[in-house]
Amino acid sequence: MAPSAVARRITSVYGWPYLVGRLAPLRSGCPAGQPCPMADGSVRALHPRQGGGWSGGAAETAGLVGLVSAVRTVVARHEDWQTTARHVAAALEHHLPTPDVLTADQRSGDSDGYRSHALHVERDGSFSIVGLVWLPGQVTRIHDHVTWCVFGVVQGVEYEELFTLDEERDCLTEAGNATNGVGEISGFAPPGDIHRVRNVGSQTAISIHVYGTDVARVGSSVRRYYDLPVLPARTAA
């Protein structure tokens, strides 16, 4: 996929970038390096890194060096979220790692819920790289986000449903959907980023996410969960 195609993809949904992915809040009392059940059914494991920050361990050294360097360069420009997401998408397209950036244990998934693994958190907290692992049928709650994010699928298929908020009627309306396969890059910059994601394939799905925040500090990229009725787009008028 050419970088120009990446840029068009990012801005293709109602004028706003969008992403497949989320992180649920950490619960207290989960030991570092151990699976941590989340409120939305996901299971997360974070690993402390010597010198500060969080890492996925040895897999980071070989598989993420180019991506970390490229994202660091983009973030250092301090551009607006939408522009940053476009440039990070191009960087991820060029440096998209293979599934083995995660360990074999991390790639195996968990029957209790999809898993999130923090692979790199920048020391100044400006961005994080996270691997998400989904077994077939696993799904998120409907939610939006606190910051920009870009992702690329490295294994399997992820299906995203997009929604808009109707504040007058206190409901959501369908706004589109996307099926993301291996090598596809997508992203978002709020607002306009309400979505739900699921693994619709027959194999474990894995995607690499770059978030514009420190996931080890804030615990989540989710701003709000939406437990509201969902209306089809044709009835939204």
State pLDDT tens for residues 96-134: 999 999 999 999 999 999 898 999 999 999 999 999 999
Is 127 in contact with 212 (CB distance < 8 Å)?
A: yes
The pTM of this model reads 0.74
For residue 229, give the DSSP letter. -
Q: What is the pLDDT of residue 129?
A: 95
| Lowest mean pLDDT across 4-8, 75-79, 107-111 | 4-8
Is 171 in contact with 230 (CB distance < 8 Å)?
A: yes
Q: What is the pLDDT of residue 55?
A: 39
| Mean local confidence (pLDDT), 37-43 | 37
Which SS3 state, helix, strand or coil, does residue 210 take? strand
With 70 as the cut, is the pLDDT of residue 42 above it?
Answer: no
With 80 as the cut, is the pLDDT of residue 28 above it?
Answer: no
Cα angle value 118/83/123 (rounded, 5°): 35
Please, where are the H alpha helices in the chain?
3-10, 59-63, 65-75, 81-95, 104-107, 215-218
Residue among 102, 129, 120 nearest 221 (CA) = 129
With 70 as the cut, is the pLDDT of residue 158 above it?
Answer: yes
Q: What is the pLDDT of residue 221?
A: 75
With 80 as the cut, is the pLDDT of residue 168 above it?
Answer: yes
Label residue 188 by pLDDT band (50, 70, 90): confident
d(CA 206, CA 199): 9
Q: Give the Cβ contact number of residue 56 at 10 Å.
A: 24
Domains and CATH numbers, the chain: 3-25+35-235 (2.60.120.10)
With 50 as the cut, is the pLDDT of residue 218 above it?
Answer: yes
Q: What is the pLDDT of residue 144?
A: 87
Q: What is the pLDDT of residue 25?
A: 26
**C-alpha torsion sign, points 86, 214, 107, 224:** negative
| Mean local confidence (pLDDT), 204-229 | 89
Token pair recorded at residue 119: 């692979």
Please list, residue by residue across 114-145, b when 16 or more beta carbons sit within 10 angstroms of its beta carbon and e when fewer do: bbbbbbbbbeeeebbbbbbbbbeebbbbbbbb
Q: What is the pLDDT of residue 234?
A: 64
- Percent share of the chain, pLDDT over 70: 72
With 90 as the cut, is the pLDDT of residue 92 above it?
Answer: yes
d(CA 77, CA 72): 9
Label residue 63 by pLDDT band (50, 70, 90): confident
Cα R_g (the chain), whole angstroms = 17
d(CA 81, CA 85): 6
Is 152 in contact with 210 (CB distance < 8 Å)?
A: no
Q: What is the pLDDT of residue 26?
A: 23
With 80 as the cut, is the pLDDT of residue 48 above it?
Answer: no
| Mean local confidence (pLDDT), 51-75 | 69
